[in-house]
Amino acid sequence: MKRHSAPILLDKAVIDVGSNSVRLVIFRTNATFFQPIFNEKVTASLGLGVMETGQLNPKGVVVARTAIARFMRIIKARDISNVYAVATAAVRDAKNGNWFLQQIQQDVGLKVRLLAGEEEARLSALGVIAGEPTANGLMADLGGSSLELVPIMRGKPGQGASYKLGPLAMNVQAGFERGATKKRINKMLENPDAFQHPEPAKTLFAVGGAWRSLALVHMEMRGYPLHVLHNYRLKLSEVKTLTRLVEKQSSASLAKIRGVSSKRAATLPYAALLLGRLIRIADVDEVVISSFGLREGLLYDHLPAKDAKTHPVLASVEALAHQNWSSPEFGQASKDWLAPVFAKYSKVFGTNRAALMQTAVCQLADIGARMHPDHRAEIAFDLVLFAPFAGLTHAERASLALAIFHRYAGQQVPPRIALLMRLLSEKEQIWATAIGLGLRCASAVSGRTASLLSRTSLRINSKTLTLDAQGEASILLTTTPGRRLRDLATAMKLEAKLID
* Predicted local confidence at residue 324, as pLDDT: 66
**CB count, 10 Å around CB of 376?**
18
Return all residues near 187 (Cβ < 8 A) that are at least 6 apart: none
* Predicted local confidence at residue 35, as pLDDT: 96
CATH superfamily to which 10-114 belongs: ATPase, nucleotide binding domain (3.30.420.40)
Q: How far is CA 388 from the centre of its chain?
A: 6
Contact 21, 39 (CB under 8 A): no
pTM over 0.85: yes
Contact 46, 61 (CB under 8 A): yes
Contact 454, 477 (CB under 8 A): no
The domain spans of the chain are 10-114, 118-296, 311-499
Contact 68, 16 (CB under 8 A): no
pLDDT tens digit at each of 500 positions of the chain: 344 567 889 999 999 999 999 999 999 999 999 999 999 999 999 999 999 999 999 999 999 999 999 999 999 999 999 999 999 999 999 999 999 999 999 999 999 999 999 999 999 999 999 999 999 999 999 999 999 999 999 899 999 899 999 999 999 877 789 999 999 999 999 877 666 666 777 999 999 999 999 999 999 999 999 999 999 999 999 999 999 999 999 999 999 998 898 889 999 999 999 999 999 989 999 999 999 999 999 999 999 999 999 999 999 999 988 776 667 789 999 999 999 999 999 999 998 999 999 999 999 999 998 889 999 999 999 999 999 999 999 999 999 999 999 999 999 888 777 777 889 999 999 999 999 999 999 999 999 999 999 999 999 998 999 999 878 878 888 889 999 999 999 999 999 999 87
Return all residues near 185 (Cβ < 8 A) that are at least 6 apart: 165, 273, 274, 277
Q: Which residues of 461-498 are buried (b: 16+ CB within 10 A; e: fewer)?
A: eeeebbbbbeeebeebbeeebbebbbbbbebbebebee
CA-to-CA distance for 333 and 351, rounded, in angstroms?
22
HEC sequence for the chain: CCCCCCCCCEEEEEEEECCCEEEEEEEEEECCEEEEEEEEEEECCCCCCHHHHCCCCHHHHHHHHHHHHHHHHHHHHCCCCEEEEEECHHHHHCCCHHHHHHHHHHHHCCCCEECCHHHHHHHHHHHHHHHCCCCCEEEEEECCCCEEEEEEECCEECCCEEECCCHHHHCCCCCCCHHHHHHHHHHHCCCCHHHCCCCCCCEEEEECHHHHHHHHHHHHHHCCCCCCCCCCEEEHHHHHHHHHHHCCCCHHHHCCCCCCCHHHHHHHHHHHHHHHHHHHHHCCCEEEEECCCHHHHHHHHCCCHHHHCCCHHHHHHHHHHHCCCCCCHHHHHHHHHCHHHHHHCCCCCCHHHHHHHHHHHHHCCCCCCCCCCCCHHHHHHHHHHCCCCCCCCHHHHHHHHHHHHHHHHCCCCCCCHHHHCCCCCHHHHHHHHHHHHHHHHHHHHHCCCHHHHCCCEEEEECCEEEEECCHHHHHHCCHHHHHHHHHHHHHCCCEEEEEC
Q: How many degrees, rounded to 5, is the angle at CA 20 between CA 15 and CA 25? A: 25
CA-to-CA distance for 181 and 187, rounded, in angstroms?
10
Residue type, 217: V
Residue type, 106: Q
**Torsion-angle region of residue 350: left (phi > 0), alpha (psi -120 to 50) or beta?**
left
* Predicted local confidence at residue 196, as pLDDT: 67
CA-to-CA distance for 71 and 78, rounded, in angstroms?
11
In whole angstroms, how far apart are CA 155 and each of 136, 204, 301? 6, 14, 13
CA-to-CA distance for 155 and 4, rounded, in angstroms?
31
Contact 80, 41 (CB under 8 A): no
Q: How far is CA 492 from the centre of its chain?
A: 32
157 bridge partner residues: 152
* Predicted local confidence at residue 376, as pLDDT: 93
CA-to-CA distance for 316 and 334, rounded, in angstroms?
19
- Options 3.30.420.150, 3.50.50.60, 3.40.50.1000, 3.40.50.300; CATH for 118-296 is 3.30.420.150
- The answer to whether the 10-114 and 118-296 domains have the same CATH topology is yes
User: Is domain 311-499 in CATH 3.30.70.360, yes or no?
Assistant: no
Beta strand 203-207 with 286-290: parallel, antiparallel or unpaired? Answer: parallel
Contact 25, 14 (CB under 8 A): yes
Contact 278, 221 (CB under 8 A): no
Contact 217, 257 (CB under 8 A): yes
CA-to-CA distance for 470 and 211, rounded, in angstroms?
59
